[in-house]
Chains A and B, each alone.
Chain A
Amino acid sequence: MKTRSEILFEKKPSNNLSVFITAGFPNKESLLEIIPLLENSDCDIIEIGIPFSDPLADGPVIQQSSAIALNNGMNLELLINQVKQVRPLISKPIILMGYLNSLLKFGIERFYESCHEAGVDGLIIPDLPLHEFKNEHELYIKKYNLDFIFLISPTTENKRALELAANSSGFLYLVSSNSTTGNINENKTDLSEKVMTLKNEGLKIPVLIGFGIKTSNDFTKVCKYANGAIIGSAFIQMIKNSNNLQKDIPQFIHNLKTKTHDHSIN
């Protein structure tokens, strides 16, 4: 059976926007409000961060949102229940992103089974090594019809990138610079080349560009060679400053996807 992400990219191969929000931020129950707002916005994929005390691959904005979420009493069980609660209203793919330690404590099979039951479509676990994915996770990904999305970077050797792609489903994540989330890095130029090379060498899976996307300009630029992009830190920053999510979320996403102006978000 095809996953929601696979169906999405078949129908709409380009300009896909994935939006990242930390569960439990700014309030414990915020997902229940934010997910439906994202469903009704121009975004294409909803990505939910599992808050963790030590998010190694994340920059300050996501770190802080994670700390606030934990302070609010957020945990993985609650997160899955919240997704389950809103899922009947949501047609877009929902992807969870988290660190391996959270899964280990929860129980690996219990985690994937709960994701399946809650209507989660895919997982991103940046610190899970490929060999351990194959040995301990892949069978559950298959059993519960989930996508698993690996990350590659511009410096990932092509052979390795293709191997990671071959083990991914739904899409592949190309992190746009050697940087933790939210960090702006100047030399994004080699990205298009990287994607082209990989496609020439047989990459078939859609590629989303992540980490450091902040403006509609950034989005437009990467959509020329990739299937879309992910925005995280800038979205969370906006949420933090907003006192009207009903208005600000659709507006923010609309602005990002409209290429006429460069709506810098600080």
Chain B
Amino acid sequence: MQAQITKGYSISKNGYYGNFGGAYIPELLYNNVNELVQNYLQLTQDPDFNKELNLLLKDYVGRPSPLYFAKKLSKKYGAKIYLKREDLNHTGSHKINNALGQALLAKKLGKQKIIAETGAGQHGAAAATACALLGLECTVFMGEVDIERQAPNVSRMKMLGAKIIPATSGTRTLKDATNEAIRYWINNNDSYYLIGSVVGPHPYPDLVTRFQAIISKEIKEQLLTAEGKEDPDYVLACIGGGSNAAGAFYNFIGNERVKLIGIEAAGKGLNTEYTAATLQKGSCGIIHGSKTFLMQTYDGQITEPYSISAGLDYPGIGPLHAHLQETKLARYLSATDEESLAAAFELMQEEGIIPALESAHAFAVLKKIEFKENEVVVINLSGRGDKDLDTYLKHFN
């Protein structure tokens, strides 16, 4: 039998993970957020809710996602490397786990109108999909710059019936799309805000973590079959806002046998201005209603991070990760654009898998860790690379 997992963290009444988290929202959103605070635990633990969600996750999303033993990578890096195949989910990434969960929750709360933000369009597409399935109205906020950069996902969302509202304020990217979604929410209190990562005011970081926790739940079951033990030695996951990592870590947090490693996007390098490694280069402040690490100026103005991957260039990070770093329950590394591209091409050529650029960051640190023989390493392959073909082609030679 496996030892009981002790959860390494708790969340306070006001939504804090240690020094991080909380709900820094204008009074105008108090009722909306409070409605969620009051209901999310009860609803998400309701047997009927879970029955309905689990059926959808199985038959619609295709869960459990396989845990694939990557033989050639394993040989190359001298460890037993398993890939958690979130890329094989319907819509192509882990984002659907959360989108379906929250859309169903919204429905239970009697909401008909869903709003969401998106950067690369992965969460937007997942939200549009969930809304189409459940018969909800979907409005997606997307930065004008991203609309241009991610045209195929824009068309995808539109075909799925979502309305796209361009965010024209600020730097016109994910940060501003999130601002616009929140402003719209203030003005349209009947909407449900379906946030895409473990960010935002309490209870969103916890809510999204819970919907993504299925990733680590399955890893444990699958490893038990494959290796005869539930615990890997390492779990690696890339970090934008931190949702796929939160899900891949969740059931291992506080378990001393498992090293949890999150990988941020270093962009052109940690020591350049062009980076998105928030935990390493940012400082503590408030972003989108949460106290956490963020990229900002000396004067507290939030700055635009950079990464080749549109899903990782968020200037903040989920408060759970800020807390896990502070308490050393997880470690955070980074990978540059170049390292991640190389890791993506390696995965294509060794294993025949085209990863999302975001996910490729997790693979890039294989080179930076000294594994002992027979150590079990799980890499969360958070999404597939169809959306990144243009970028890959540009760098392929």
A residues apposed to B, CB below 8 Å:
52-54, 56-57, 59-60, 63, 67, 70, 75-76, 99-106, 126-129, 131-132, 150-153, 155-157, 160, 164, 175, 178-180, 183, 185
Residues of A within 8 A of B169 (CB): 60, 63, 67
Q: Is the CB of A106 within 8 A of B28?
A: no
Q: Which residue from B24, B176, B189, B300 sits with its C-beta under 8 Å from A106?
A: B300
- List 21 contacting pairs A-B, 8 Å CB cutoff, sorted by A: A53-B301, A54-B302, A56-B26, A56-B288, A57-B26, A57-B28, A59-B183, A63-B170, A76-B299, A101-B285, A101-B302, A102-B300, A105-B285, A105-B299, A132-B22, A151-B26, A153-B28, A156-B27, A156-B30, A179-B186, A183-B187
A54-B175, A127-B25 known; A105-B186 Cβ under 8 A = no
Verify if B179 is at the interface (C-beta below 8 Å from A).
yes
Q: Which of B286, B299, B301 has the most CB of A within 10 A?
A: B299
Closest chain B residue to A106 by CB distance? B300
Q: Mark B151-162, 1 if CB is under 8 A from A, else 0.
A: 000000000000
Please, how many residues of chain B have a CB less than 8 angstroms from a CB on the other chain?
33
CA of A100 to CA of B285 in the docked complex: distance in angstroms?
8
Q: Which residues of B are interface residues toward A (Cβ below 8 A)?
A: 14, 22-28, 30-31, 169-170, 175-176, 179, 182-183, 186-187, 189, 284-289, 296, 298-303
Q: Is the CB of B186 within 8 A of A104?
A: no
Query: Which chain A residues lie closer than 8 Å to B25 at the CB level?
Result: 56, 127, 129
Q: Which residues of B contact A57 (CB under 8 A)?
A: 26, 28, 183, 186
Residue of B with least CB distance to A156: B27
A100 — which chain B residues lie within 8 A by C-beta?
24, 286
In the assembled complex, the CB of A155 is this many whole angstroms from the nearest CB of chain B, namely 5
Tell which of B27, B296, B303 touches A150, judged by Cβ atoms closer than 8 Å.
B27
Give the distance in Å from the alpha carbon of A95 to the alpha carbon of B179 in the complex.
25
A141 CB to closest chain B CB (Å) equals 18
Are B296 and A152 touching (Cβ within 8 A)? Answer: no
CB contact under 8 A between A153 and B299, given known A56-B182, A127-B289: no
Which chain B residues lie closer than 8 Å to A106 at the CB level? 299-300
Which 7 A-B pairs have CB atoms at the shortest separation, nearest pair first? A105-B300, A53-B301, A57-B26, A127-B24, A101-B286, A126-B26, A151-B27
User: Which residue of B is nearest A59, CB measured?
Assistant: B183
Q: In the bound complex, what is the Cα–Cα distance between A38 and B85 (angstroms)?
A: 63
Could you tell me if A104 and B187 are in contact, using CB atoms closer than 8 angstroms?
Answer: no
Chain A residue contacts of B284, Cβ below 8 A: 104
Are the C-beta atoms of A99 and B301 separated by less than 8 Å?
Answer: no
Tell me whether B179 and A56 are in contact (CB under 8 A): yes
Q: A102-B299, A131-B14 are in contact. Are A54 and B179 (CB under 8 A)?
A: yes
Which residues of chain A are near B296, meaning CB under 8 Å? 101, 105
